[in-house]
Amino acid sequence: MIEGSDTSIWQGLLFGAAALLIIFLFKPGIKTAFQQSREAEDKDWLGVLFPIGLVVLFVILLLSMV
């Protein structure tokens, strides 16, 4: 038997239980988010793409300074 294998089994079980608990707790919010994303309009994408574009341009600027 490999030393420490008992703790890794317990850690895996605890992490799995924690993941299931988190999914269970956030399920109503996830369901609402998917419902709202189906009803979203095209203009909503501009609010997401604009900040991402600014970040990309900023990173390109930083890389060009090096």
Mean per-residue pLDDT, 5-22: 87
Confidence of residue 63 (pLDDT cuts 50, 70, 90): very high
Domain count of the fold of the chain: 1
Look at residue 57 in the predicted model and tell me its pLDDT: 97
Range of the domain at 60: 5-65
Nearest alpha carbon to residue 64 among 56, 27, 1: 56
Confidence of residue 1 (pLDDT cuts 50, 70, 90): very low
Q: How many residues does the chain have?
A: 66
Confidence of residue 34 (pLDDT cuts 50, 70, 90): confident
> Mind spelling out the 3-state secondary structure of 5-66?
HHHHHHHHHHHHHHHHHHHHHHHHHHHHHHHHHHCCCCHHHHHHHHHHHHHHHHHHHHHHHC
